[in-house]
A and B are shown apart, each in its own frame.
Chain A
Amino acid sequence: MIKDGRFILDGMENVVINIGKITTEEELAEEEWEPMGPTPKPGILSLRNWDHRLLKDFPPFYAPICDMCCLCTYGKCDLTENRKGACGIGIEAQQARMVLIACCIGTAAHAGHANHVLHELIRWRGRDHPIDLGPYIDVEAPIIRTVVGIIPKTLGDLEEILNYVNQQLVHALSSTHTGQEGSYIDFESKALHISMIDNLAKEVADIAQIAGFDFPKGDPDAALIDFGFGSVDRTKPVIVFIGHYPAVSVATIDYIEEQGLSDKIEVCGICCTAIETSRYSASAKVIGPLSMQQFFVRSGIADVIVLDEQCVRTDLLEEAQKTGAPLILTTDKICYNLPDVTNRDPDKVVEDLLNDAPGVLISDPLIAARVITKTALEIKPKRDSLNHLPKLDEVQKIAEECIKCGWCDRACPNSLPVKDAMIKAKEGDFSGLSDLFSPCMSCGRCESECKKELPIISMILKSAQEIAFGETYTMRAGRGPVLDTEIRKVGAPLVLGEIPGIVALVGCSNFPNGEVEVAKIAEEFARRNYIVVATGCSAMAMAMYRCEDGQTLYEKYPGSFDAGGVVNIGSCVANAHIIGAAIKVAAIFARLPLRGNFEEIADYILNKVGACGVAWGAMSQKAASIGTGTNRWGIPVIVGPHGSKYRRAYISNKELSEWELYDKRTGEVVEGEPAPEHLMYPAETMEEAIVLIAKLCIRPSDNAKGRQIKLSNYVDLYKKYMGTLPPDLHLFVRKEQDIPITMKADIMEYLEEAGWKPRKAIGDPSRLVPEAEEV
């Protein structure tokens, strides 16, 4: 076998052969799939020009949630009224720094997940386990191709990508140390960079999961999963998995099957682990998004509670103990000061748990699976006699202790009327408490504030028991990536505007008015033939709703990535496939090269792919990095009103901005339009968000027919919620042919009043400086 090195052949002492690197056949094929673009494995500086262009059109808007910096021992430093901190930092840079820290945390959480799952799968399946996403996906890793410049073929290939991810995280986070970056614009550029890396880590995680766990490979007809408290058969032992990392639930399902116990145990999940588990086994039940954690644990339904990582309540040990359910921790992310019993005899661990040990940490999923299953079977009879919620007459008695101080209302993130509900309950009227079940996120801040220590969450749950325990729904299992065949069908109509847009409902469940609003947004746009995609808690929240005809959204609308589809892509890490779909439009429809070619692809998406992300319940640092990364690819994101607490939005100012674009066909600077108008926008109400989604799907590349369709949706929704024509309509009408025919008379009259003049549509809109000018 030839190796690299220095060789002297016998008899040819004057000839020295140097072999620097052996190129294998696979590597040759790799080199040939596409020429390498300008920015493979970009560093922090590589795409800075792109970021600065984005930030010129969509400048950061800062709303500090804290006026100080408390990060070093010089502080606390007061940053109000142009004061600088002791290190020299000003308020804008400090906000951007905190945003970057949040995005680094979010990226680290996804990268941690990716590292965990990949290494576990390599242990299970080997480094050579192939990545095969089925016959309908040729462009199988669009983010990896575009950012890193490789096509991963095996699980082992993904390790190289994670090495790059981990390296970028170190650099980005290090720049937040005292005395590093001082410019808010460059902090933002770094936040955009590391959040793109977040997208990359998510793609690695989900591709590994699909390959290693054999999750659905873009199946539009993925199974309908039973959903809700009511779907759980409480006569059987119930195991609930909470978190995001599915190795333990997958191992447990396998173990249950091997032991022939499949019809004897209920497996269910909360948060993204629920979605992942149902991608593996259609018989697993989904309880709901993370807002259901506290409610479900308090219900006492679960006989064993298993935690993995991310977005898990940090007091679940205490909560689990109240219900007599043992807690099993399974990763290094959550340890709760419990003993690590990975190397102890599993049967002894089961014995400990049955003898009142509150919980254990088991870091090997295969061992955890045995302990979880055996414990559930044996503890179930012991727990049957326990009551977990107060009876209704007890709820009334507890309510009588309420002193009506009102701090519960003030502690509630949504200022829900808890006090009034409590006053009603004193009189035996539980409707106030019951009405809180839907909008309440079960965060428990009201209880924590309550001077009388009333168990408010349990009282709400008991009062709403008919809704909470009776309702069952369905959710389509997370299907994974969008198929190339689907992109071939929708690519042209999306770029031309004839499919008016992709609406991506993503992120956590810190909703301002409960889960129902996400479902209503989805329904509004599915009816209008947008492509509605969803992931994570939003995909689950959408399931908790019935349309007028009694069907859930997943029953009523097809799961295909097509006009009028309602598509559950998967968990948080599956968000990567939504950006991936936009990239694939550029690759498959426009035939743009992806390899190491980030700027051109992002520019294409920003100007030509009418997509809008909606993180209506954005809560976590992961949601910050998901949204910011999505922005770097040129996709605008609307967050709910709680998203204003992220401190930063990317808002244009159409009354003061100039919208200049390049026409790539002519190389000229041309008058553009605010399309999209904003890049990161917190909306105050669902109605505002709905109108804005329609507007943010408008793109300069729309043809006249496409623009008519988009404007008819925008105008129709504006009229529905605002009662008139949009006041900025003239900005989006380029020529008469853009005006929807059925609205022509009204709109022409408005345009005349606004002093509108026709302008040319841009042939090939771009924000990248044409090469000739750059020279």
Chain B
Amino acid sequence: MTRAYQCANVPGPHLGKVATSASVAAAIKRAERPVLIIGSELRHLDWALNLAKEMDIPIVATAHVAGVMREKGVRPDREMGAIEITNLLKSPEWGGVRGEGQHDLAIFTDVLYYMEAQMLSALKHFAPHIKTISLTRGHQPNANQSLPNLSDAKMGEFLAEIVGALNES
């Protein structure tokens, strides 16, 4: 059994699935209005920005990540705290990042692990209209699907495989 990356982070009887690159790609393809939430760990920023560009997924930069993106010449669609975007995602009436309607898929990457766990928990309990994927370091059982626990090298491969699976279509 895959354990949470921070091993005591066991929420309860219902745990999310361990993602494969194919299952992540399928969920992204299936989503009508996905949103990509990029946090402060900054481990795979270039990959995430590239994914957003290729798949036309709006970006929310949490913490001070918008500043880092601007240094790279990228302007995020929105910049707000991790808890603020989570709070908006909880509300069915919110119009989404682009005003096109509430999102149906939230992809978290690089939000501080334990804080992301809490944000995913909030969505798990209070946002039944939204699916969640975590591509942050280590397994997050509160996400609908989340990475297994991988070394940095393996994680790079995993992320590349997601892009490969997306391109297959």
- Residues of A bordering B, CB below 8 Å: 61-68, 78-81, 91, 407, 410-411, 413, 415, 449, 512, 641-642, 644-645, 649, 651, 653, 655-656, 681-685, 687-688, 691-692, 721-724, 727
The answer to whether A64 and B121 touch across the interface, beta carbons within 8 angstroms, is yes
In the assembled complex, 8 residue pairs joining A and B whose CB atoms fall closer than 8 Å, in A order, are A67-B11, A415-B5, A651-B83, A653-B88, A684-B82, A688-B40, A688-B64, A688-B81
The answer to whether B138 and A410 touch across the interface, beta carbons within 8 angstroms, is yes
B71 contacts the other chain (CB 8 A): yes
The answer to whether A415 and B6 touch across the interface, beta carbons within 8 angstroms, is yes
CB-CB under 8 A from A62, the residues of chain B are: 122, 125-126
The answer to whether B7 and A653 touch across the interface, beta carbons within 8 angstroms, is no
Cα distance A669–B108 in the bound complex, in angstroms: 40
The answer to whether A413 and B66 touch across the interface, beta carbons within 8 angstroms, is no
- Residues of B bordering A, CB below 8 Å: 5-7, 11-14, 39-40, 62-64, 66-67, 70-71, 78-79, 81-84, 86-88, 91, 93-94, 111-115, 118-119, 121-122, 124-126, 128, 137-138, 149
The answer to whether A683 and B81 touch across the interface, beta carbons within 8 angstroms, is yes
- Least CB distance from B168 to A in Å reads 33
- Least CB distance from A91 to B in Å reads 5
CB-CB under 8 A from B13, the residues of chain A are: 67-68, 78, 80
The answer to whether A415 and B137 touch across the interface, beta carbons within 8 angstroms, is yes
6 A-B pairs closest in CB distance = A67-B12, A687-B64, A723-B70, A63-B118, A684-B63, A644-B118
- Least CB distance from B64 to A in Å reads 4
Cα distance A691–B114 in the bound complex, in angstroms: 22
The answer to whether A641 and B115 touch across the interface, beta carbons within 8 angstroms, is yes
B137, closest chain A residue (CB): A415
Cα distance A415–B112 in the bound complex, in angstroms: 10
Cα distance A727–B80 in the bound complex, in angstroms: 9
Cα distance A759–B12 in the bound complex, in angstroms: 50
Cα distance A66–B11 in the bound complex, in angstroms: 5
CB-CB under 8 A from A682, the residues of chain B are: 83, 115, 118
Given known A-B contacts A415-B6, A688-B64, A721-B64, A681 and B83 have beta carbons under 8 A apart: yes
The answer to whether B6 and A410 touch across the interface, beta carbons within 8 angstroms, is yes
B70, closest chain A residue (CB): A723
The answer to whether B63 and A685 touch across the interface, beta carbons within 8 angstroms, is yes
The answer to whether A723 and B67 touch across the interface, beta carbons within 8 angstroms, is yes
- Least CB distance from B17 to A in Å reads 15
Cα distance A348–B91 in the bound complex, in angstroms: 68
The answer to whether A656 and B137 touch across the interface, beta carbons within 8 angstroms, is no
The answer to whether B112 and A684 touch across the interface, beta carbons within 8 angstroms, is yes
CB-CB under 8 A from A727, the residues of chain B are: 78-79
- Least CB distance from A38 to B in Å reads 34
CB-CB under 8 A from A415, the residues of chain B are: 5-6, 113, 137-138
Given known A-B contacts A684-B39, A684-B40, A722-B67, A66 and B114 have beta carbons under 8 A apart: no
- Least CB distance from B120 to A in Å reads 9
Contact of A407 among B7, B40, B112, B118 (CB under 8 A): B7
CB-CB under 8 A from B78, the residues of chain A are: 727
A67, closest chain B residue (CB): B12
CB-CB under 8 A from A78, the residues of chain B are: 12-14
B10, closest chain A residue (CB): A66
The answer to whether A723 and B66 touch across the interface, beta carbons within 8 angstroms, is yes
CB-CB under 8 A from B149, the residues of chain A are: 410
The answer to whether B121 and A65 touch across the interface, beta carbons within 8 angstroms, is yes
- Least CB distance from A89 to B in Å reads 14
The answer to whether A683 and B125 touch across the interface, beta carbons within 8 angstroms, is no
The answer to whether B70 and A724 touch across the interface, beta carbons within 8 angstroms, is yes
The answer to whether A64 and B83 touch across the interface, beta carbons within 8 angstroms, is no
Given known A-B contacts A80-B125, A723-B71, A413 and B114 have beta carbons under 8 A apart: yes
